[in-house]
């Protein structure tokens, strides 16, 4: 794990005396048990659950606190030995309004504190919060317990507002201010890629020594290479189809419209491809995409490509792996990505990725080796590149091999080990501050 700003590499600290035994992990607005690909469930859900499971394998007990979104939510779920998910009641409704947000976060923090009180003082050694809402709760409970707060942003309002899709709504100033508060309250910030680390320093004023870069992982047991034709047979796809896959949440930030517009441009210059072209969109509306849940369907119809674009709801991870294996290319045209787990999952299955050259995608995709990165969102550019790749089987075979090799570097075991190193750094920082305060008295 690299700590930007110091040139320091830390690792191999399994015997560190400050290694946490129990971690309270906060994921306020979305449960890691929800299926990714629609609503609020996405890459962060995958991240939280897999990180917790790998930490448990390293003998660190993890309790994940998340907001109950239904009266049917089971209060306590054992996700696996060593990982407990607690669904906390904060009031009715899936998504809190700005007016009710403060009250709900207060109730959430109170519920977390009650759990610790039931366990006994000193039960948790560390708080790890995910996303800014969780960070606000994390600051309260970590201060109350006297333990370090480690925070992962996942997405940041200031970054999103600098790269808005056409027609997308900017993140409100209240979120920007909230994120600034979380940065100030955290002992350590975990960034998914160097781009995010630099943004934390440049846009939020984080101390470079406060930021550690830890790459997310990919489930290398689920997302594995396989025979394309077998995957297509299981999904009911034609053996000779040209499959350009989009997988993930449907919202302006993710830019699935760029793929649909590019497909229309591709067919305009290659009408003979229409009988073979297939553009599956596997996922559901999310975020600002909920304002026009059928917008992408309407766009495909308007551009007269509704015969080649097929919409599928979110699927289980094992089925998603088949979609990756069945595709010629997975297309990730996002305006911003803190990392891009979809890109990693696709590459682990042996399918190259055509992606935007933004944020963490510059790390998740090895340009020219495991996929291709594009600097703009012009449909003509994407259509031309897709056509060039389709026409060059030898290049595609090289990218397929490169995709598997590149993804193999990103196992969740490595992510957990580096995260544990980050926890040790946070403990050291907290201990140093304590002794400094005592010495100065």
Taking phi first (over 0 means left), then psi (-120 to 50 degrees means alpha), and beta for anything else, what does residue 88 get? beta
Is 175 annotated in a binding site? The answer is yes
Is 45 annotated in a binding site? The answer is yes
Is 63 annotated in a binding site? The answer is no
Is 324 annotated in a binding site? The answer is yes
Is 90 annotated in a binding site? The answer is no
Is 29 annotated in a binding site? The answer is yes
Is 315 annotated in a binding site? The answer is yes
Is 376 annotated in a binding site? The answer is no
The span from the CA of 215 to the CA of 363, in Å, is 9
Specify whether the CB–CB gap between 154 and 131 falls below 8 A. Answer: yes
Is 98 annotated in a binding site? The answer is yes
CA distances from 252 to 51, 160, 292, 346, 356 (A): 28, 11, 10, 21, 14
Specify whether the CB–CB gap between 150 and 350 falls below 8 A. Answer: no
Is 53 annotated in a binding site? The answer is no
* Residue whose tokens read 């963490």: 360
Is 161 annotated in a binding site? The answer is no
Is 44 annotated in a binding site? The answer is yes
Specify whether the CB–CB gap between 90 and 29 falls below 8 A. Answer: no
The span from the CA of 194 to the CA of 155, in Å, is 14
Is 37 annotated in a binding site? The answer is no
The span from the CA of 404 to the CA of 397, in Å, is 11
Is 38 annotated in a binding site? The answer is no
- Residue 315 has, within 13 A of its CA and on its CB side, a CA count of 16
Specify whether the CB–CB gap between 48 and 25 falls below 8 A. Answer: yes
Which residue numbers belong to the known binding site for 1D-myo-inositol 3-phosphate?
Answer: 29, 40-45, 98, 131, 155, 175
Which residue numbers belong to the known binding site for UDP-N-acetyl-alpha-D-glucosamine?
Answer: 43, 249, 254, 315, 337, 345
Which residue numbers belong to the known binding site for Mg(2+)?
Answer: 324-325, 327, 351
Which residue numbers belong to the known binding site?
Answer: 29, 40-45, 98, 131, 155, 175, 249, 254, 315, 324-325, 327, 337, 345, 351
């Amino acid at each position: 794990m690299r700590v930007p700003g110091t040139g320091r590499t830390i690792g191999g600290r399994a015997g560190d005396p400050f290694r946490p035994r129990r971690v309270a992990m906060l994921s306020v607005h979305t449960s890691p048990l929800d299926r990714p690909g629609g609503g609020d469930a996405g890459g962060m859900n995958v991240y939280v659950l897999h990180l917790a499971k790998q930490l448990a394998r390293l003998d660190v007990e993890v309790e994940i606190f998340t907001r109950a979104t239904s009266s049917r939510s089971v209060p306590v779920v054992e996700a696996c030995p060593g990982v407990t998910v607690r669904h906390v009641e904060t009031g009715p409704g899936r998504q809190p309004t700005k007016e009710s947000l403060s009250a709900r976060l207060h109730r959430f923090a109170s519920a977390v504190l009650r759990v610790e009180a039931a366990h006994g003082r000193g039960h948790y050694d560390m708080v790890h919060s995910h996303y800014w809402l969780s960070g606000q709760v994390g600051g309260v409970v970590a201060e109350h317990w006297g333990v370090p707060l480690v925070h992962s942003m996942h997405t940041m309002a200031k970054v999103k507002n600098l790269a808005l899709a056409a027609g997308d709504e900017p993140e409100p100033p209240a979120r920007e201010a909230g994120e600034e508060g979380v940065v100030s309250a955290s002992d350590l910030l975990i960034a998914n890629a160097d781009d995010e680390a630099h943004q934390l320093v440049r846009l939020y004023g984080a101390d470079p020594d406060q930021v550690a870069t830890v790459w997310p992982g990919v489930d290398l047991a689920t997302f594995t290479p396989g025979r394309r034709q077998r995957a297509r047979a299981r999904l009911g796809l034609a053996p000779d189809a040209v499959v350009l896959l989009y997988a993930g949440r449907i919202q302006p930030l993710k830019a699935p419209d760029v793929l649909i517009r590019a497909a229309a441009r591709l067919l305009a210059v290659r009408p003979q491809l229409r009988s073979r072209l297939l553009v599956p969109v596997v996922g559901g509306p999310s975020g600002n995409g909920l304002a026009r849940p059928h917008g992408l369907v309407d766009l495909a119809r308007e551009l007269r490509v509704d015969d080649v674009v097929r919409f599928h709801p979110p699927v289980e991870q094992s089925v998603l792996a088949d979609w990756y294996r069945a595709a010629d290319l997975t297309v990730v045209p996002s305006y911003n990505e803190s990392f891009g787990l979809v890109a990693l999952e696709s590459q682990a299955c042996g399918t190259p990725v055509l992606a935007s050259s933004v944020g963490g995608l510059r790390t998740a995709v090895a340009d020219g080796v495991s996929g291709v990165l594009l600097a703009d969102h012009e449909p003509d550019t994407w259509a031309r590149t897709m056509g060039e790749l389709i026409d060059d089987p030898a290049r595609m075979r090289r990218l397929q091999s490169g995709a598997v090799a590149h993804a193999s570097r990103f196992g969740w075991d490595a992510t957990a080990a580096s995260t544990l190193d980050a926890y040790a750094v946070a403990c050291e920082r907290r201990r140093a501050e304590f002794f400094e305060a005592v010495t100065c008295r």
